[in-house]
């Protein structure tokens, strides 16, 4: 409709104001939840990419992220991401860091994802309005798994 503005445009227009427009009443204090919502609307990161692991991969310096970064990016818990991998809803992380010793026993290294793979997941979840949702009904979202798998395959072929 003509004249209709998106929530993003409205937030940008009133950014930096300390009072409600047309009132002397101060704006509400921002809460962590409102800050996260604002970042999501404006397309900013929610902090998932603040601590990358930088490794040389095929001669190129590459940022890698753990399963906790993927979970934070999708606003889910780590156990949820691992469950989705086990059930085949999302592909298993394509890379692992080197094995390490823990209490004298050799254990596999952390599973890691590239920035591009996590951004693909974010885009596909956002298209379907699933970022921050309480539940993902995978039985109704067969196309989501297919979209993520095919886009990951293309991304990994170009690497």
Q: Is the pLDDT of residue 126 over 70?
A: yes
Mean pLDDT of all residues in 129-141: 85
**Which CATH code is given to the segment(s) 53-158?**
1.10.1660.10
DSSP the chain: -TT---HHHHHHHTTT-SB-TTSSSBPPPP-HHHHHHHHHHHT---STTSSPEEEEETTEEEEEEEHHHHHHHHT--HHHHHHHHHHTSSPPPSEEPPPEEETTEEEPPPEEEEHHHHHHHHHHHHHTT-TT-S---GGG-HHHHHHHHHHHHHHHHH-
Tokens describing residue 51: 């601590």
* pTM for this prediction: 0.69
Find out whether 99 and 108 touch, Cβ atoms under 8 Å: yes
Q: How high is the pLDDT of residue 97?
A: 84
- Go through the chain and tell me how many residues it has: 159
pLDDT digits (tens, 9 = 90+) for 55-99: 887 788 889 999 999 998 888 999 999 999 999 999 999 988 888
Q: How far apart are CA 69 and CA 74, in angstroms?
A: 9
Domain boundaries in the chain? 7-42, 53-158
Judged by average pLDDT, the poorest of 28-32, 62-66, 130-134, 139-143 is 28-32
> Residue 98's pLDDT is what?
82
């Amino acid at each position: 409709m003509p004249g209709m503005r998106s929530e993003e445009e409205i937030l940008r227009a009133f950014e930096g104001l300390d009072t409600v427009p047309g009132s002397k009443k101060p704006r509400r204090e921002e809460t962590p939840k409102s800050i996260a919502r604002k970042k999501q609307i404006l397309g900013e990161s929610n902090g998932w990419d603040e601590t990358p692991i930088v490794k040389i991969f095929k001669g190129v310096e590459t940022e890698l992220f753990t399963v906790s970064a993927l979970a934070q990016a999708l606003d889910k818990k780590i156990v949820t991401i691992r469950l989705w991998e086990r059930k085949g809803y999302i592909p298993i992380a394509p890379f692992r860091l080197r094995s390490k010793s823990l209490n004298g026993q050799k254990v596999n290294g952390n599973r890691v994802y590239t920035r591009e793979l996590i951004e693909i997941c974010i885009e596909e979840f956002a298209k379907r309005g699933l970022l921050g949702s309480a539940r993902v009904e995978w039985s109704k979202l067969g196309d989501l798994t297919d979209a993520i798998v095919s886009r990951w395959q293309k991304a990994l072929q170009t690497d």
